[in-house]
Structure formats: structure tokens, C-alpha cells
């Protein structure tokens, strides 16, 4: 299957700072990528849909000014958590779909563990 790479795998940052997470599709072009958030021992929640060359679409309740998404190319989307606070500590996972293929699912990255201290 297609490969989606996330970087970093884990990050620790101080409260009030910003942190950027990258999501790359390594062997296919992804017009659209998806960002999810998973709290400990809970399910994944879709945060936003990232569209190449246009603004991201955020799910209800997700602060767009806090979670900045940029999808500048067909293989890279970034999620920046701005002015991070301890309650932003979570597991962030991206996924991307190869729109050149029919009946395919989106492929998930390995996730990024964010800890805000």
C-alpha cells in the first residue's frame, strides 16, 4: 500500500510555544489529507480536511486559529499547534488518499505524540 510519513514521531514542547507536524505522502499525490486527534484511551476524532492549494475545512468545535493547516503541495500537509497548552497534549494522526485510484481508503501516518509541559 501507499506510504504516509509523519514527522516528528513525538515532540515535547513548553506551554505557549508552537509546534509543527508534517504529513507526507511518499509515493503518491494526495489532493486531500486528513488530520485526526486521539486522546489517551479514546477514539480518533477527525479535526480537519486539508485541501491542496486551498483552505482547510475544520470540523465543528475545532479552533482553526489554534490548529493551523497548510497543504502547499500534493505530497505535504502541515499541522501547526499554536500557543500550545497542556490540554493540547494528544496523539495526532494524518491520513492521505491517492485520488488517482478508485475504491481506495486513505492511508494513515504513524502518528505524532505531542506532550505540552
Partner 1 sequence: AQSVTQPDIHITVSEGASLELRCNYSYGATPYLFWYVQSPGQGLQLLLKYFSGDTLVQGIKGFEAEFKRSQSSFNLRKPSVHWSDAAEYFCAVGPYSGGGADGLTFGKGTHLIIQP
Residues that bind partner 1 (CB under 8 A): 1, 6, 32, 34, 42-46, 49, 93, 95, 97, 99, 101-106, 108-111, 113
Give the contacts of 69 (CB within 8 A, at least 6 positions apart). 35, 48, 50, 56, 77, 78, 79, 80
Hey, what's the cell of 96? 492521505
Backbone angles phi, psi at 88, to 5 degrees: -85, -10
Using the minimum distance from each CB to partner 1, give the nearer residue, 43 or 117: 43
Using the minimum distance from each CB to partner 1, give the nearer residue, 6 or 75: 6
**47: left (phi > 0), else alpha (psi -120 to 50), else beta?**
alpha
Taking the complex as a whole, the smallest distance from the CB of residue 112 to partner 1 amounts, in Å, to 10
Taking the complex as a whole, the smallest distance from the CB of residue 24 to partner 1 amounts, in Å, to 14
Taking the complex as a whole, the smallest distance from the CB of residue 52 to partner 1 amounts, in Å, to 13
Amino acid at each position: 500500500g501507499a506510504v504516509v510519513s509523519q514527522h516528528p514521531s513525538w515532540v515535547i514542547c513548553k506551554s505557549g510555544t508552537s509546534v509543527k507536524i508534517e504529513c507526507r505522502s511518499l509515493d503518491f499525490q494526495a489532493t486531500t489529507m486528513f488530520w485526526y486527534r486521539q486522546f489517551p484511551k479514546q477514539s480518533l476524532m477527525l479535526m480537519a480536511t486539508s485541501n491542496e492549494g486551498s483552505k482547510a475545512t475544520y470540523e465543528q468545535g475545532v479552533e482553526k486559529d489554534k490548529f493551523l493547516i497548510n497543504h502547499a503541495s500534493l505530497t505535504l500537509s502541515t499541522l501547526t499547534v499554536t500557543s500550545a497548552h497542556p490540554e493540547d497534549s494528544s496523539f495526532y494522526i494524518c491520513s492521505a488518499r491517492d485520488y488517482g485510484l478508485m475504491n481506495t481508503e486513505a492511508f494513515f501516518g504513524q502518528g505524532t505524540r505531542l506532550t505540552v509541559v
